[in-house]
C-alpha cells in the first residue's frame, strides 16, 4: 500500500513538472538571446503543496513565498541584488493556488494588463513581465481576483 501511494505521489509530481515545462515552452514570448534560469518552488498551505516555477534572466535566484496573512490570495516574488538592468520573469503556477484572473503588483502598485502577458492552459496560469531592476529588492505579487 505504501509503495502504491509513493508511486502515485511521484507520478503526480512528474506530471505537474511536465505541465509546467510545457506551459513555459509554449507560452514564453520570444526573447533576445540571454541566459535564462528555471527555478522551481514548493509552496505549502493548509496541508496542500503547490509547485511554482520562475523562468528569468536575473543573475540570482528569486525568493518566492506565500504571505504570512491571507495565504491563497496571492504569492510574492522578490528579485534581490544591486545590479541595474532590464530583466524579465515568467512565473507558472497551478490555478488552484490562487483563484480568479491574476493581476500583477510591482512595488505595491497594480500594473495595467498591457504591462504583462497572461497565459492559461486549463490547469496552470503563466505570467510574463519585463521589468527594470533599479532597487535592491524588486517586489512583485501575483494576486487572484477578489471574491466576496
- pLDDT value of residue 32: 54
Q: What is this structure's pTM?
A: 0.74
- pLDDT exceeds cutoff 90 at 103: yes
- pLDDT value of residue 21: 46
- pLDDT (tens digit per residue) in 36-57: 999 999 999 889 999 999 999 9
- pLDDT value of residue 3: 54
Q: How far is CA 57 from CA 72, 121, 130, in A?
A: 27, 23, 10
In angstroms, the CA 93 to CA 127 distance is: 9
Give residue 6's pLDDT band: very low, low, confident or very high (50, 70, 90).
very low
What are the domain boundaries of the chain? Answer: 2-143
Cα-flanking dihedrals φ and ψ of residue 73, to 5°?
-105, -30
- pLDDT exceeds cutoff 90 at 78: yes
Largest CA distance in the chain: 53
- pLDDT value of residue 50: 95
- pLDDT exceeds cutoff 70 at 24: no
In angstroms, the CA 8 to CA 138 distance is: 38
- pLDDT value of residue 2: 52
Amino acid at each position: 500500500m505504501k509503495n502504491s501511494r509513493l508511486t502515485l505521489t511521484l507520478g503526480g509530481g512528474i506530471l505537474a513538472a511536465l505541465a509546467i515545462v510545457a506551459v513555459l515552452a509554449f507560452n514564453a514570448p520570444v526573447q533576445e538571446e540571454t541566459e535564462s534560469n528555471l527555478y522551481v518552488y514548493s509552496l505549502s498551505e493548509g496541508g496542500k503543496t503547490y509547485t511554482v516555477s520562475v523562468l528569468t534572466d536575473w543573475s540570482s535566484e528569486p525568493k518566492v513565498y506565500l504571505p504570512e496573512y491571507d495565504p491563497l490570495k496571492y504569492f510574492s516574488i522578490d528579485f534581490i541584488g544591486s545590479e541595474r538592468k532590464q530583466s524579465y520573469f515568467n512565473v507558472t503556477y497551478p490555478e488552484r493556488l490562487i483563484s480568479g484572473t491574476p493581476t500583477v503588483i510591482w512595488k505595491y502598485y497594480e500594473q495595467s494588463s498591457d504591462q504583462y502577458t497572461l497565459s492559461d492552459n486549463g490547469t496552470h496560469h503563466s505570467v510574463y513581465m519585463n521589468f527594470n531592476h533599479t532597487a535592491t529588492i524588486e517586489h512583485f505579487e501575483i494576486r487572484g481576483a477578489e471574491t466576496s
